[in-house]
Amino acid sequence: LRQAQDILFRGMWWCKWRQAMLSIVSGDYQPEESAVNLREFAENLVRGRPHVSFEAPRAAVQMDPVAWNIVLENALSNALRHACPRDPQVHVQVSVDQGLRAAPCTTITVDPARHVVLRVLVRNRAKATRPKLSVWRSGC
């Protein structure tokens, strides 16, 4: 039953993502920021994916969850596609950069007037036959 629920959940999100992507391409997309609990966000992102684990703080931040889901869905699908087929070990790590700390069972609400930096790291166990990647850095 849980697997069926996960499939339905992912299907409903795909419909939202598809609509958002179409509006982005057409130039009609209007970002909708809301307070998002990062832990719940990450749980939903990896839901129904048995080879994906995650770490995320219980912090609520202002962000556009649909736009973030589009970007992170792409990162996750690439990590799974280019991972070791037998044991991909994909891991998503979400962190908030502004000196915010949360105890394991508490939720931090970030002041919407303050800017925070969200860092998302997606790692996988790469295929052994893939050539090593070179390090790339932006000019920032």
Q: What tokens does 92 get?
A: 């998503």
CA quadruple 65, 71, 75, 78: dihedral positive or negative?
positive
Q: What is the mean pLDDT of residues 113-123?
A: 76
- Report whether pLDDT(88) > 70: yes
Q: Classify burial at 56, counting beta carbons within 10 Å of its beta carbon; exposed 0-12, middle 13-18, buried 19 or more.
A: buried
Q: What tokens does 49 get?
A: 């994916």
pLDDT at 113: 60
Rounded to two decimals, what is the model's pTM? 0.71
In order of 92, 99, 105, 111, the CA distances from 72 in angstroms are 9, 24, 25, 24
Q: How many CB atoms lie within 10 A of CB 58?
A: 15
pLDDT at 98: 63
